[in-house]
């Protein structure tokens, strides 16, 4: 008869463990975010594209949505060729929400001499696919309009 | 304590615990009425009404402008944006429940007065429940083409 309380206690512990597991979020996959920056710096478009889900989307400013890994790779190869401005990324906020995660951050594009070219912000939606954290949505924009185009009435 | 009685008590607590677990996952639909209220407030030029649809710690991330944080700044932003002069429509919306948040994405079409063609763009939103109301926590969008002002309307002289 003494096994009965033990069995019931086991069930109770299982129930508590089940409850306790749900609200504890796992840490944000910072290693993947760091890999993105390393690969961007190395102008590795294929390497960066591999960090996105198959059906990921880039939502770039002043351009149409870029859908799918192949199109993302093509976009990155075109916009980040060797010799591009250096990119600095800072994470402002992360939240892991089940199989999704949210990240907000800021970016700074720097010229070869270290001068700041453009600053901006981004929002990302991450998704866990087969145990791997990947970027699912990636939207960014600058904090100011692009430098004015040279106009004909500008002094020579 | 009598082992049988103890087992009953523990069983009872386990069931209560399990019931608590069930309650932790509210099966709710996306707050569509709030989203529609946002568009209605925008199209009627109601900057104060728009502001009430954001959480206290909300941030608006507009294109080509710095982040706008908090109610006072958000109200000023929308007042300067001059809603009411712009007719906005939302389409191709997708929503996902993310824990205590709702994620929404979609496209917009905004017809600015004195412009013949609507500006098309896309948006990402994160919604959060504050009290009993679902409100915007993060709100970001951008057009699919540069705004008309940035496009040179005449070819530069050679």
Domain ranges of chain A: 26-142
Q: Which of A50-54, A123-127, B42-46, B149-153 has the lowest mean pLDDT?
A: B149-153
Q: What residues form DSSP beta bridges with B123?
A: B106, B141
pLDDT tens, position by position, A121-136: 999 999 999 999 999 9
Taking the C-alpha atoms of residue B92 and residue B107, their distance in angstroms, rounded to an integer, is 6
Q: Which of A10, A28, A57, A121 to mutate to test the interface with B (most CBs of B within 10 A)?
A: A121
Class of domain A26-142: alpha beta
B18: left (phi over 0), alpha (psi -120 to 50) or beta: alpha
Distance (Å) from the alpha carbon of B122 to chain A's nearest alpha carbon: 7
Whether residues B150 and A145 touch (CB distance < 8 A) is answered with yes
Q: What is the pLDDT of residue B88?
A: 95
Shortest distance, CA A86 to any CA of chain B (angstroms):
20
- φ, ψ (nearest 5 deg) of residue B63: -70, 140
**What pLDDT, on the 0 to 100 scale, is given for residue B16?**
52
pLDDT digits (tens, 9 = 90+) for A38-54: 999 999 999 999 999 99
Whole-angstrom Cα distance, residue B100 to residue A1? Answer: 44
Edge-to-edge order in the sheet of strand A66-67: A66-67, A52-59, A132-142, A116-129, A100-110, A86-97
Q: What domains sit in chain B, N to C, each tagged with a CATH number? A: 30-145 (3.10.450.50)
Look up the pTM and report it. 0.81
pLDDT band at A154 (very low <50, low <70, confident <90, very high): very low
A83-87, A121-125, B80-84, B103-107: the lowest-pLDDT one: B80-84
Chain A: residues touching B (Cβ < 8 Å)? 1-2, 4-5, 7-9, 11-12, 14-16, 18-19, 22-23, 25, 59-65, 95, 97-98, 100, 102, 104, 121, 123, 125, 137, 139, 141-146, 149-152
> What is the Cα gyration radius of chain B?
23
Query: Cα(A7)–Cα(B7) distance, rounded to whole angstroms?
Result: 8
């Amino acid at each position: 008869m003494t096994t009965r309380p033990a069995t019931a206690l086991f069930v109770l512990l299982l129930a508590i463990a089940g409850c306790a597991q749900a609200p504890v979020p796992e840490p944000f996959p910072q290693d993947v975010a760091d890999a993105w920056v390393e690969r961007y710096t190395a102008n590795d478009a294929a390497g960066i594209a591999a960090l996105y889900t198959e059906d990921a989307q880039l939502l770039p400013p002043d351009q149409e949505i870029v859908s799918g890994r192949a199109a993302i790779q093509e976009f990155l190869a075109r916009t980040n060729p060797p010799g591009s401005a250096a990119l600095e990324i800072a994470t402002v906020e992360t939240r892991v929400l089940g199989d999704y995660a949210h990240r907000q951050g800021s970016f700074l594009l720097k010229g070869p001499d270290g001068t700041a070219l453009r600053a901006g912000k981004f929002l990302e939606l991450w998704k866990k696919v087969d145990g791997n954290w990947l970027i699912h949505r990636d939207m960014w924009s600058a904090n100011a309009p692009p430098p004015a185009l040279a106009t004909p009435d500008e002094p020579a | 304590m009598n082992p049988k009685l103890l087992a009953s008590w523990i069983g009872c607590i386990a069931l209560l615990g399990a019931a608590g677990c069930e309650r932790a996952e509210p099966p709710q639909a996306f707050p569509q009425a709030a989203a529609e209220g946002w568009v209605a407030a925008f199209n009627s030029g109601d900057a104060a009404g728009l502001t009430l649809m954001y959480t206290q710690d909300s941030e608006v991330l507009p294109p080509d402008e710095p982040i706008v944080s908090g109610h006072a700044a958000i109200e000023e932003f929308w007042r300067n944006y001059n809603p009411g002069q712009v007719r906005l429509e939302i389409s191709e919306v997708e929503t996902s429940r993310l824990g205590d948040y709702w994620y929404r994405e979609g496209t917009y079409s905004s017809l600015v007065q004195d412009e013949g063609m609507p500006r098309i763009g896309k948006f990402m939103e994160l919604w959060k429940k504050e009290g009993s109301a679902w409100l915007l926590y993060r709100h970001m969008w951008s057009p699919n083409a540069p705004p008309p002002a940035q496009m040179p309307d005449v070819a530069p002289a050679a």
